[in-house]
Chain A
């Protein structure tokens, strides 16, 4: 059992893609599809330096949200939708291999990553990566996936609605 409600954790564990929303320098939300990884406490996303504007935005404003919305990209029997708000940090202390600490979680969702990593020489900058760590603050859950109905709202580890 982690810090998030079980249905949200199930979504995080099975979703192949999520939408990370960050806030840019002009206060505008900017959303990026990324693979979500979760260890029961923090949500991890990795980003190549090739697509690193989001990292700059997070460093300037750590408030982020992550939604799991695509029924095709989630392998659960019962589809639900969730959004998690939280505070993110960027770990770019070792771009070359620091991100490999989340490789076991990544591998579970994308087994082909090992093959791509074996061809690192072909895409060297793609594998210079930072890790985005999100500490969840609040989560929203639509148990039947219908967002025209009010979501259940949870503060971390405590349901309030």
Chain B
């Protein structure tokens, strides 16, 4: 790559000195700092002459490096950037004239360290392959079992399962009864299906190349990358996904056998939707249906399922109360897909952010949040859900920074990361407050003969 006039023109404002590197007569590299001026139009750098044994050879190709960091006492440093240029060096009356014809550079304010690192993954594999060949040792990268399991399954996302299931259990406790062991089995079964889905998603995204094409992964998007990094093989994660689904399905079938076969259809719907979320031939997320699938799976299906296990019947109330939870978890996916959209588009994964404009996505987010919280108000006001669930409105302000970040940092994946975290908090806080609403109603009902209308 050749240096551009724009980049050359900014060298003086971005760097305080240059370092000339060359090979000396003994065959050792020599590097020496000096002052510099740039003539961007001519594409040359005028370097102050160096004295003594450190003089670079005349009329030879050298490497000139500009490097900058800003020390942060007690922490380390930031503002890392460097520009490395190669080209011939000539002696003139004014000093040393350097005419670069090749460049390598990085500025962490233009390309985040995460992306810079991600672009180094092929080199890491190249190095490991050579080392393996040289030594005969297995030199795969490692993580401890716990961290590897957490990363592979994306364990922290389990809140998406716990919220709707606990909500279903809370509604069942209000309207019917509650069994601890059935609740525990429901949570374990739901968690297994969810983790199986997460891993299956990685299997298909790795196989399709979507994860490899993504050089802007965040902790919320871009997949677990365990295969891409060489931490596990595709076969290993496929087996893990199969194992998790098997346990989840076995628990689901057991619960259906114990509590009523009507549960089976809901379970089948959940498993099928989760599998075909990324699996061929349907690949629902590739068709822009991922948000709907996630809203259904982590909303009504889980809440109704958890309710049925306890109550042995279906009812309108758990369905209604799951609607805002389903919308908000779909919005987690929706926002997390924003930084992934170039890689998703390249892999044919036509999610909503791939299909729609920035304005449509940002306004769509605001509209969906409004619908979610409006539904909480309407259902509680109408008495279709218990009225204390209205306290979930307290979580609504969490949506504001997410909306603003989408508006302001739509094309900056790492600047969006705090908003992605806030969006997950929005779902979690709303869900917890809805559950708390039911707990308040249950406690009030137990404590009072005739609780006031706003407590039931």
Q: Do they bind each other?
A: yes
- A residues contacting B by CB (< 8 A) are 16-17, 19, 21-23, 27-31, 33, 48-53, 55-56, 63-67, 69-73, 75, 81, 83, 85, 92, 95-96, 109-113, 120-126, 128, 137-138, 140, 145, 147-151, 153
Beta-carbon nearest neighbor of B123 in chain A: A52
Asked if B31 and A67 make an inter-chain contact with CB atoms under 8 angstroms apart, the answer reads yes
**Which residues of B come within 8 Å of A, CB atoms?**
16-17, 19, 21-24, 27-34, 48-54, 61-63, 65, 67-72, 74-77, 80, 82, 84, 86, 114, 117, 120-121, 123-124, 126-128, 130-131, 139, 141-143, 147, 150-151, 219, 229, 231
State whether B141 touches A83 (Cβ < 8 A). no
- Please measure, in the bound complex, the distance between the C-alpha atom of A56 and the C-alpha atom of B147, giving whole angstroms: 30
Tell me if A70 and B68 are in contact (CB < 8 A).
Answer: yes
Report B434 CB to chain A, min CB distance, Å: 31
In the complex, are the beta carbons of B31 and A65 less than 8 A apart?
yes
Contact of A53 among B28, B74, B123, B219 (CB under 8 A): B123
A and B contact pairs by CB, cutoff 8 A, 23 listed: A19-B31, A21-B29, A21-B63, A22-B29, A23-B23, A31-B19, A49-B123, A49-B128, A49-B141, A50-B121, A55-B127, A69-B19, A70-B33, A85-B24, A85-B28, A85-B29, A95-B139, A95-B141, A123-B114, A125-B120, A138-B28, A140-B53, A147-B51
Neighbouring B residues of A53 by C-beta, 8 Å: 123
Contact residue among A52, A111, A123 (Cβ-Cβ distance under 8 Å from B75): A111
Instruction: State whether A96 and B142 are in contact (beta carbons under 8 Å apart), knowing that A33-B67, A50-B124 are contacts in the complex.
Output: yes
A19 close to B21 (CB less than 8 A):
yes
Nearest B residue to A97 via CB reads B142
Contacts of B28 in A (CB 8 A): 63-65, 85, 137-138
Interface centre among B27, B124, B219 (most CB of A within 10 A): B124
A151–B231 CB distance below 8 A: no
B77 in contact with A50 (CB, 8 Å)? no
B336 CB, nearest partner CB in chain A, Å: 16
CA of A113 to CA of B77, assembled, Å = 11
Q: Is the CB of A29 within 8 A of B33?
A: no
Q: How far is the CB of A58 from chain B (nearest CB, A)?
A: 11
Task: Given A65-B28, A72-B16, A128-B124, answer yes or no on A148-B51 (Cβ-Cβ < 8 Å).
Answer: yes
**With the chains together, A50 CA to B126 CA distance in Å?**
9
6 closest A-B pairs by beta carbon, nearest first, are A150-B52, A50-B120, A69-B33, A110-B76, A21-B29, A52-B127
| A121 with B151, Cβ < 8 A, contacts A29-B23, A153-B53 known | yes
On whether the beta carbons of A65 and B16 are closer than 8 Å, the reply is: no
CA distance A29 to B102 in the complex (A): 13
Given A56-B127, A121-B151, A124-B231 in contact, is the A28-B53 Cβ separation under 8 Å? no
Interface centre among A19, A56, A85 (most CB of B within 10 A): A19
**Are B229 and A125 in contact, CB atoms less than 8 angstroms apart?**
yes
Give chain B residues whose Cβ lies under 8 Å from the Cβ of A150: 51-54
**Given A52-B124, A65-B28, A81-B33 in contact, is the A31-B69 Cβ separation under 8 Å?**
no
A31 engages B65 (CB within 8 Å): yes
Known contacts: A50-B120, A85-B28, A120-B143. The answer to whether A110 contacts B150 by CB under 8 A is no
Q: Which residues of the other chain, B, contact A140 by a CB distance below 8 angstroms?
A: 32, 53-54
- Kindly state the separation between the CA atoms of A137 and B151 in the bound complex, as whole angstroms: 45
Contact of A17 among B31, B77, B143 (CB under 8 A): B77
Which partner residue on chain A sits nearest B62 by CB separation? Answer: A29
Q: How far is the CB of B144 from chain A (nearest CB, A)?
A: 9
Specify which chain A residues have a CB less than 8 angstroms from the CB of B29 in the assembled complex: 21-23, 29, 63-65, 85
Taking a contact as CB atoms under 8 Å apart, the answer to whether B124 and A110 are in contact is no
Q: Is the CB of B21 within 8 A of A21?
A: yes
Task: State how many angstroms separate the Cβ of B25 from the closest Cβ of chain A.
Answer: 12
Q: What's the minimum C-beta distance from A148 to chain B, rounded to whole angstroms?
A: 5
Shortest C-beta distance, A28 to chain B (Å), equals 7
Q: How many Å lie between the Cα of A23 and that of B68 in the bound state?
A: 22
Contact in complex: A19, B71 (CB < 8 Å): no
Q: For the complex formed, measure the closest distance between the CB of B277 and the CB atoms of chain A, giving whole angstroms.
A: 25
| Nearest-neighbor residue (CB-CB) of B147 within chain A | A121
Instruction: Check B124 against A125 for contact (C-beta < 8 Å).
Output: yes
B65 and A19 within 8 A (CB)? yes
User: In the complex the two chains form, what is the Cα distance from A124 to B139 in whole Å?
Assistant: 14
Which residues of chain A are near B126, meaning CB under 8 Å? 52
